[in-house]
Structures are given as C-alpha cells and as structure tokens.
Amino acid sequence: MRFFTIIQDSGAYDAGYNVGYMIGKILPFILLVVIGYFLYRYFNKKSKK
C-alpha cells in the first residue's frame, strides 16, 4: 500500500494532472474557433454563388 502512495505523490503525477487541466481549459476555446472558421467559410462560399 505504501508503494501506491509513493507513486501518487511523484512529480509525474502532478505534471500529468496539470497537462490535462490545461487541455481541458483551452480545448473549448479551440473548438469554438474551429467551428466559427468553418461557419465563416460556409457562408462566405454560399454568398459567392
């Protein structure tokens, strides 16, 4: 049981958590930008026809 406590207290565990937190924090904004870009392209092509 002590072994699992040592693994969880390591720096790698904390770094992995921070990376996941940053991805979860930034990913919604990236998705919104991508959706906005495709909507812009769609309506821009539609208006040229």
* Distance, C-alpha 13 to centroid of its chain: 18
What domain range is 39 assigned to?
22-49
CA 43 to chain centre: 27
Residues 13 and 7 sit within 8 Å (Cβ to Cβ): yes
CA dihedral 40, 42, 44, 47 (to 10 degrees): -140
For position 32, what pLDDT does the model report?
97
Instruction: Work out how many domains the chain is built from and give that number.
Output: 1
Predicted confidence at residue 38, as pLDDT, reads 96
Segment-wise mean pLDDT, segments of 10 residues, the chain, 49 residues: 58 68 89 97 86
Domain assignment present for residue 6? The answer is no
